[in-house]
Structure 1
Amino acid sequence: MIRHPRVDVLGVGISAVTPDTALDEIARWIETGDRTYVCVTGVHGVMESRRDPALRRIHNASGLTVPDGMPMVWAGHRAGAAWMRRVYGPDLMLAVLERAAERGWSSFLYGGAEGLPELLGERLVGRIPGLKIVGAHSPPYRPLTAQESAAVVTTINASGADLVWVGLSTPKQELWMAEHRPRLEAPVLLGVGAAFDFHAGLKPQAPAWLQQRGLEWAYRLAKEPRRLWRRYLRNNPSYLAHLAVRPPRLHKSVPQE
């Protein structure tokens, strides 16, 4: 299943890919019927994985764990993957959906506050001619009961979706994909987090020049200080300190536990 080299960033295997190679790999899975999932990961995902071995295993068992933030790209370059480029979750979502419209693939939207996935579906269909959205569901914020989880699986499978987009934020979306992957018939699950809010028009994206300089976190912090200050204060300095001790390494497969 894992075809691309990975960069070991503090124990998490970040796929050494570009936007084009990631898109082509996802397309291959759908065309061949492979069943896997995609993690979209930056500093937050790496640091959460350091604290939670189960989350680290989920990242490392993915079909792709793409470099969502520039720090992942810089780590890849430092390890020798000079070809590596940022695969930004919202951009990946649009690229895959544009190809989905061309090839007739259908999508299910799972996650977000009540009404958000439906609004997102309307905005995406208006933006991408020919796009097929075959279902949307907003789960409760609490953990699902076994009956609720089974009902969600039944609904998604009945939709016939090829792609299941999961917008629950990290680590909830990764845990959800790993738990539900065996029971879902769709070839590809993709955890894209804030892309739901961005493409629904509920939150602004950072300007491109900030993204390219690895400063998107500062923009998001300025927009949502009460929600995000603890995350960035805790994760960013710790990430740099740990990386100084354990430099990134390029592997042909995922890092070993």
Structure 2
Amino acid sequence: MSIQHKHKQNKVDILSVQFDNVTMDEMKEAVMHFRETDTTDNMFVVTANPEIVDYALDDRSYYDLISEADYIIPDGSGIIQAGRILGTPLKERVPGIEFMAKCLEIAERYHQRVFLLGASEAVVAKAKQELQHRYPHVTFDAHHGYIDLKDEQVVRKVSKFNPDYVFVGMGYPKQEQWIKQHRHRLQHTLLMGVGGSIEIYSGTKKRAPLFFRKTNLEWFYRLITDWKRMARMRRLPRFVSKVFRKRLKRK
């Protein structure tokens, strides 16, 4: 089950993907409200950047999957810029790794349970160790992300842990597919795909320096520090082209 945090009046259409027009503070409030709600439903959050939007436009099943999320938040400066170009501006960027940090702060305050699913066995173990030191009142468990989506042993492990949060760092589309397939096995849980955030928390990868983040060039930093992203980055010019074509059609 999924709790329906649908606010139609606060949706912004970016190439047919319906983004929630929210700030980081509003998302934090939504998590607090969810925590206080007496429900067995869960909360599914998608952090979407231009790559994810472009992929969703090419893959109908993935588009339908993310459309079922309770929140689609703008995790990319390209999404913010697209909103401005299309005349439907979003309030602000809500980076997934920063929203994850807000969730961890709430988990620390209320002594909650967090499951990390993703990265290699060594990396996720290191991330768990680092986060446990940073958030001593949170109970953590973890499993690597090199799994089959239908791996029942992993699903049982996550379910038995009874987490308040499950952060899945397998990269799109696999992380959202895992959530889609197994969220019904959990109760009152926030589930979110977090991409490479587990590696960053482990210390094996570094987030872009503040300069790149403030100048909306975080994507460029990722590219020059990780050439494996080159193939994925080809989606960026395609996304930009689609945005401008849509803008021209409106004139």
TM-score normalised to structure 2 length: 0.89
Which whole-Å deviations, capped at 9, do the CAs of 1:160-211 have from their partners, x for residues lacking one?
Answer: 2111110111111111111111222242101111111111101111122212
Q: Which residue of 2 aligns with 1:119?
A: 126
Q: Do 2:124 and 2:199's aligned partners in 1 also have CA atoms closer than 8 Å?
A: no
Counterpart among 144, 148, 152 of residue 138 in structure 1: 144
Q: Do 2:130 and 2:202's aligned partners in 1 also have CA atoms closer than 8 Å?
A: yes
**Code of the aligned partner of 2:7:** R
Q: Which residue of 1 aligns with 2:97?
A: 90
Unaligned residue ranges in structure 1 (runs of 5+) = 248-257
Counterpart among 88, 99, 104 of residue 106 in structure 2: 99
Q: Do 2:46 and 2:72's aligned partners in 1 also have CA atoms closer than 8 Å?
A: yes
Q: Which residue of 1 aligns with 2:7?
A: 3
**Code of the aligned partner of 2:226:** E
Q: Do 1:221 and 1:228's aligned partners in 2 also have CA atoms closer than 8 Å?
A: yes
Q: Which residue of 2 aligns with 1:29?
A: 34
Q: Which residue of 1 aligns with 2:205?
A: 203
What SS does the corresponding residue of 1:104 show, helix, strand or coil?
coil
C-alpha displacement at 1:68, in angstroms? Answer: 0.6
Q: Which residue of 2 aligns with 1:251?
A: none
Please report the RMSD computed on the Cα atoms of aligned residues, expressed in angstroms.
Answer: 1.9
Q: Which residue of 2 aligns with 1:154?
A: 156
> May I ask how many residue pairs the two structures share in their alignment?
241
Q: Which residue of 1 aligns with 2:235?
A: 235
What SS does the corresponding residue of 2:117 show, helix, strand or coil?
strand
Q: Given the superposition, is the C-alpha separation of residues 80 and 245 from structure 1 closer, same or farther in structure 2, using an over 3 Å criterion?
A: closer
Q: Do 2:112 and 2:137's aligned partners in 1 also have CA atoms closer than 8 Å?
A: no
77-86 or 5-14, which deviates more: 77-86
What is the distance in 1 between the residues matched to 2:56 and 2:173?
9
Report which structure shows greater RCO (CA 8 Å, sep ≥6). Answer: 1
Q: Which residue of 2 aligns with 1:175?
A: 177
Provide runs of 4+ in structure 1 moved above 3 Å: 76-83
**Code of the aligned partner of 2:154:** V
Q: Do 1:111 and 1:137's aligned partners in 2 also have CA atoms closer than 8 Å?
A: yes
What is the distance in 1 between the residues matched to 2:184 and 2:85?
36
What is the distance in 1 between the residues matched to 2:87 and 2:112?
35
**Identical-residue share of aligned pairs (%):** 28
Unaligned residue ranges in structure 2 (runs of 5+) = none
C-alpha displacement at 1:23, in angstroms? Answer: 1.5
Q: Is 2:18 the partner of 1:13?
A: yes
